[in-house]
Structure 1
């Protein structure tokens, strides 16, 4: 795909060459980094291409080594989705809480350099003239930066591009950032809803790598994102959560409903970065919790997620996180990920139904019933993979996650009766306690959101579900509790060097020191 930076450079060059052929002073002195209305209107490329780049870099699409650091070697592992057989840095690395600061810059750098910068460029050009492009930039920006906030806590959002007299750029506390996310989503939803109601032209279609310019779909995604963030803060800020959640639930254009609504970015012809990590580098394998939960439930999604080992057609093995690995060969034969197509998935319609199920537990208006939403969430996830028989699964009230056995090292086993092994079944039980209902919802939501590890990690921290296995080796030096699991990443080293005064102020908004053991604002556990 053509880079918007190359496109802009071409336009700038053309302007400069054209002005060199005339003697008119105003053209000679025209700012080569600006574009007039006619140039913007020509094909909207100068507004749209930056947003294409922003979508592509929600998870960097063309740089697997950076994508590995952006998400795979933190959230994908911390969420219990995957584990690496590779003993990086002498087996002292993020997977066992030996946090590597040079790794932990990537989520921040990609979000700001490749997404926030692109969205800001479009918004500067679109403000007051092209409300549709402005609103789409708002939604993409929230999708990117809420993920960053859910990694570190404080983020640069409302102060982006505003340089103080001391050369610092201020952060928003996580609470302030979330309130700003809600405001921007509300404004964007209102803008695009008006476009839908008026049958306005879809000028964004050529640049939309998700919904091909369908504003209705973007509003449904924004509503679901608003509900996701409302549920996220429901423990710490129930009044605001209810207000924002009900606004999303009551919106006439609704939420994501079916697999065709899934928010996934088409990166074709580039292959999914996880395919490179898994098959070219052999750095990614199935996790132990995935083996335990999917095999225990006899979940028909298992072969759609992972490959059997060489041990047989139905033999799956996952690696427990944070174990002692001396050589890659010990565990590289464990289950590989099924190869992904050219789409990077960030939100499923199934997630929307599980969000509604939890909202129903809290009595939010417009949520419906938890039981119906729970069942629809599972069936929607099954539909995503072409699995037709969901009733047997929904009515299963006996299967539970399996004990875990590491065939390489019994010290890593999780036996039956271990407190970290869930006993939750699948079938909905209206008489169950609130916590049991929540565990059912989040466990099935966790299965359905795969492979979106960032969201899965956030929900595990918020709820404690599904039950995961603690690390065996903890190299944090006591800064991260083995039993409480990792809660965040420390502030990026790059920011500590380039923006130290603001980082110091940002750290003061945390609940504790700038370590992986300090809980985020919304994290009540």
Structure 2
């Protein structure tokens, strides 16, 4: 006990730079060296761990932006993890911070257990113990879904023993089941306790719902690797109270400044433009006309449905299965998922309150005219991106990239809305839409669920539309049979596959001549061997993916690793990508797990500080400590 209290005191006083834990404990008239058993409270550690895990801008940029959002294709960021590489410095920081949050969560558990054993408790101490266990599981899920094998009894100042991913998942699921079962929702709290829980204010029923919902999330992660376990755990969790309303959402308010509560997407040099993956899913999905969604000033920019755009194959990556590769779109698409224009702002829409002007020290966001040049750097043409909608694929474009000043520029691309970037939002850890889509997927799998698949699917879409503020389009959207560029529609009953090809019109960007183009829907070999594009599971995961933007990139990335859904286009390989050697000019039209990031390698600090543990962890991976090594629960092909 003395060691726990000593460690706890050191940790808690060290956190004073960032988090205020308790007024009495840190009273200037109290000798801090005289901290005693009664003064060290569980809620201090929970507050510290939950607050820290919001990620200050330094760690958020490395973990949330550069790794998670890039892996999930929630924005376009070329290179690094998107093409099979990583940065050890980023990983060192991420691993260190995450380990610290886990240590603090473990202390919350340990202190609570010791207090209960000693009989020095409040009426709510047991509930706080169970909440600490639930929160610890969330942090463990971050760790294992990033790196893979991990300790389940470590982060306590010793070199821990690593466990394989299956063992970690079984432990997390058991912890959630047991912790939720031991929460007494009828316990009344003192008025000042709520301030130590920035998510729920220690509303115990909400913690029960979060624990059950997270158990559903983690159970579904095992759907391909361990379906029997997944089914059993999911059904048990779904039978209890779960997150189904916005008021149940696990979220933490952001605030301006520079600390743990500053927004995770605030670094101004991260432009966060629309990705080709998102674009292919947004275009055409839901049947809602762009004309109903944008101001009249943009109506003249709306192009016909059968128009592909300007063909610039000498300036765009084309060795990719992106169905719009080689084209720059000189206008707006006539049909667009209504969340698209809320999440990403049309270039040139300067009077939109959500137009993001970062970086604020330049005028780049307001400059919409850019050039394409020839091999001698002479201007070939000048393009105006105002009122247009583009998203270029990733990859090694070679000389094409050097000649293209348009496709990667801040002012010519739709970029993430300002509301998500200015520290005025709440960071969402679990939204009601996710619960509904998990239930819908379980229903499609034939598991026992609290509602049927269609109801859950449509409720998930409704929850997402409510969050984005586009509920006026919901009724028509749910009845739409319009296909997006990946060949998927919205309507639950509409499972007819799209035609293999569609004849479209285009303009040659070099000559100005009009022509016809055979648009080919991409084949996603990672799902059903490429046989389907519009089955129920694809619909569900497409909607889940669009709903998780922008707060839950790790979940979106995990779904793609698990299922190969939704469709992710391959990086273009005009030149070989040394960190993704399996992708070549002979197979770029295929979809394989080896073409997408699977995990984050362990930092070099682990190998240096705990070589035995590192070797143990890598041994459990079943492959090299590399970005492209799939985790146990992920697709292996």
In structure 2, the residue corresponding to 1:107 is in which secondary structure?
helix
Match of 2:136 in 1: 141
1:9, CA displacement in angstroms?
11
Cα pair distance change 1:215/1:83, threshold 3 Å: same
Deviation readout 1:66-112 (Å, 9 max, x if unpaired): 21111211121111111237xxxxxx633332322222233322211
Match of 2:500 in 1: none
Name whichever of 435-444 and 470-479 sits farther off.
470-479
Match of 2:340 in 1: 302
Match of 2:519 in 1: 416
Q: Is it true that 1:72 corresponds to 2:110 in the alignment? A: no
Residue 487 of structure 1 is aligned with which of 592, 595, 598?
598
Q: In 2, Cα distance between the equivalents of 1:152 and 1:161? A: 19
Match of 2:37 in 1: 36
Q: Cα RMSD between the aligned structures? A: 3.4
Match of 1:245 in 2: 234
Unaligned runs of at least 5 residues, structure 1: 20-31, 41-45, 86-91, 425-431
Q: Is it true that 1:358 corresponds to 2:351 in the alignment? A: no
Q: In 2, Cα distance between the equivalents of 1:33 and 1:186? A: 38
Match of 2:482 in 1: 398
Residue 96 of structure 1 is aligned with which of 68, 83, 93?
83
Residue 5 of structure 1 is aligned with which of 15, 24, 29?
15
Task: Assess if the C-alpha contact under 8 Å between 2:395 and 2:571 holds in 1.
Answer: yes
Q: Is it true that 1:81 corresponds to 2:74 in the alignment? A: yes
Q: Is it true that 1:385 corresponds to 2:372 in the alignment? A: no
Match of 1:27 in 2: none
Larger-gyration structure (1/2): 2
Q: Is it true that 1:471 corresponds to 2:571 in the alignment? A: yes
Normalising by structure 2, report the TM-score. 0.68
1:418, CA displacement in angstroms?
5.2
Match of 1:276 in 2: 266
Task: Assess if the C-alpha contact under 8 Å between 1:480 and 1:515 holds in 2.
Answer: no
Q: In 1, Cα distance between the equivalents of 2:603 and 2:617? A: 12
Task: Assess if the C-alpha contact under 8 Å between 2:250 and 2:430 holds in 1.
Answer: yes
Q: Higher helix share goes to which structure?
A: 1
Match of 2:9 in 1: none
Q: Is it true that 1:331 corresponds to 2:409 in the alignment? A: yes
Q: Is it true that 1:287 corresponds to 2:301 in the alignment? A: no
Name whichever of 472-481 and 333-342 sits farther off.
472-481
Q: In 1, Cα distance between the equivalents of 2:607 and 2:212? A: 35
Cα pair distance change 1:394/1:13, threshold 3 Å: closer
Unaligned runs of at least 5 residues, structure 2: 1-11, 286-335, 349-383, 488-503, 511-516, 585-591
Match of 1:26 in 2: none
Task: Assess if the C-alpha contact under 8 Å between 2:195 and 2:201 holds in 1.
Answer: yes
Task: Assess if the C-alpha contact under 8 Å between 2:163 and 2:620 holds in 1.
Answer: no
Name whichever of 467-476 and 370-379 sits farther off.
467-476
Cα pair distance change 1:275/1:228, threshold 3 Å: closer
Q: In 2, Cα distance between the equivalents of 1:202 and 1:242? A: 40
Deviation readout 1:364-415 (Å, 9 max, x if unpaired): 223421111111111111111222231111111123227999x999xxxx98
In structure 2, the residue corresponding to 1:147 is in which secondary structure?
helix
1:346, CA displacement in angstroms?
1.7
Q: In 2, Cα distance between the equivalents of 1:495 and 1:401? A: 43
In structure 2, the residue corresponding to 1:103 is in which secondary structure?
helix
1:261, CA displacement in angstroms?
2.1
Q: How does 1:48-67 map to 2 (within 5 A)?
A: 48-60=43-55, 62=56, 64-67=57-60
Q: In 1, Cα distance between the equivalents of 2:194 and 2:59? A: 29
Q: Higher strand share goes to which structure?
A: 2
Q: How does 1:127-206 map to 2 (within 5 A)?
A: 127=113, 128=116, 129=121, 130-161=125-156, 163=158, 168-192=159-183, 194=184, 196-197=185-186, 204-206=193-195
Q: How does 1:363-378 map to 2 (within 5 A)?
A: 363-378=446-461
In structure 1, the residue corresponding to 2:88 is in which secondary structure?
coil
In structure 2, the residue corresponding to 1:83 is in which secondary structure?
coil
Number of residue equivalences: 474
Q: In 1, Cα distance between the equivalents of 2:31 and 2:188? A: 38
1:50, CA displacement in angstroms?
2.5
Name whichever of 350-359 and 306-315 sits farther off.
306-315
In structure 2, the residue corresponding to 1:416 is in which secondary structure?
strand
